[in-house]
Every structure is written in C-alpha cells, then in structure tokens.
Structure 1
Amino acid sequence: MALRFSEICIDAHDPTTLGAWWASALGWHSETDADGDVRLSPPPGSGPPWLFLAVPEGKTVKNRLHLDFTPDDQQAEVDRLIGLGATPVDIGQGEQSWVVLADPEGNEFCILAPD
C-alpha cells in the first residue's frame, strides 16, 4: 500500500482570517468552500495545498508539528511577516540561526537562515 501526501490541515478558530493571513504571507491563492473551510493552493511543485478547518477552541500549547521556511533574506522576511501580523516567539530555542514566529492564532513556524 502506498500513501500520497495530499494536504496540510490546520485547525483555526477563524479559518477565513487565518487562511487570508497565510495566503498573504505565502502569496498563494485561497478559496473558501460552502462549509467555511479555506484552501490555499500553492504554485505547481511547491507542496500540497493547505486546508484551514474551523474548530471551537483556541490554541493553548506549543505546536507538536511546525513549518520551516527558507527565504533568500532571513531578516527581510522576518520583518515582512511581523509587518503582516506575525509575532516573535521564545519557545526556549536560545540563540539559534533560525527565528521562531507565530501566526495570528499562535501557531509557531520558523524562518531559517538561507542555505
């Protein structure tokens, strides 16, 4: 039996707002279905779509899974994302080459130093 990676599902208190934030951050197209779920479609070859699903509760603990992004210019990307509404997060990482940020609902992700 073979598995195919189909999509990344992200629970959200407000999938419309969070999906729009990530669409802006990534530059991806978004669509909202009749159920209120928001799907982000990446450019071809850029990975699976992201699906934001409504849940009643907010995030309360550190993510068990997070996303890493490698930009051409780490500081410029960190500044851009903070300008869009991301917040710097200290999860005990100490002094590292990556920067931990959180999206508007508190989901942590990392901006790595360029290769």
Structure 2
Amino acid sequence: MEIAWEALTVDAHDPPPLARWWAQTLGWELMEPVPAGVEVRPPDGRSPSLFFTRADGAKPAKNRLHLDLYAEDRAAAVDGLLARGAARADVGQPDDAACVVLRDPEGNEFCLLEPR
C-alpha cells in the first residue's frame, strides 16, 4: 500500500487572504477557491500543497505542527515577512535557536532556518 502526502490543511478565520499571503511568501500559485477552501500549490503543480479552510474560534495555543522554511538571505526574508504582516513569536525557543520563529497574519507559527 502506497500513501502519499497531498496537502497540509491550515485552519483560518479568512482563508482567501491567508492563502494569498502564503502564495506570495512561497512563490506558489493560488488556485481557484472551492467551497471547502483555497489551495496554494508549487508552480510545477506537484504535491504537497497548502489548503486553507475556514475555522471559527480562537487559536488555543502554539501549533503542534508548523512549517520550517529557509531563505538564502534570512535577515532580508525576516524583514520582508514582518513588513507583509508576519510577527516574531516566542514559543519558548532558546536565545541561540537555529531558527527565527514567526507567526503568519492569523497567528500560525513557522520557522525560518539558516540556508542549507
């Protein structure tokens, strides 16, 4: 039996703007919205994708699953993300953590790592 990863689903108060934010952040394509939500796919159309679906209520705590991203110029990427609505996050990481922890405009944590 083969199992393949198709998408990571993200709960959102307002899926279309959050999907647009992530599409711009990753350089991915915003797909046409469907009743269940909005998908963001890599330009080559391959999986996995991000799928944003509507969820009511407040985010209760730190995400138990998050994205780890990297950028060739991490400092410039952090500045650009902050300018577009991201925020720095303190999730208990040490001062010398190998990543910068941020939140997207709806509060979902993600990490920006040093380039590989």
TM-score (norm 2): 0.90
Q: CA deviation at 1:29?
A: 1.2
Give the whole-Å Cα distance in 2 for the aligned partners of 1:12 and 1:2: 30
Match of 1:93 in 2: 93
Q: 1:49 to 1:10 in 2, by over 3 A?
A: same
Any stretches of 5+ residues in structure 1 without a counterpart? none
Structure 1 counterpart of 2:115, one-letter code = P
Show structure 1 runs of 4+ deviating over 6 A.
none
Any stretches of 5+ residues in structure 2 without a counterpart? none
Give the root-mean-square deviation of aligned CA atoms: 1.6
Describe how 1:1-115 pairs up with structure 2 within 5 A: 1-35=1-35, 37-44=37-44, 47-95=47-95, 96-115=97-116
Q: CA deviation at 1:92?
A: 0.9
Structure 2 counterpart of 1:92, one-letter code = G
Aligned length: 115
- Provide Cα deviations, 1:33-79, integer angstroms capped at 9, x if missing partner: 34161111112387511110011123121000010011101101111
Give the whole-Å Cα distance in 2 for the aligned partners of 1:38 and 1:17: 10
Preserved contact between residue 41 and residue 47 of structure 2 (Cα < 8 Å):
no
TM-score (norm 1): 0.91
Among all aligned residue pairs of Structure 1 and Structure 2, give the percentage whose two residues are the same amino acid: 43
Preserved contact between residue 39 and residue 50 of structure 2 (Cα < 8 Å):
yes
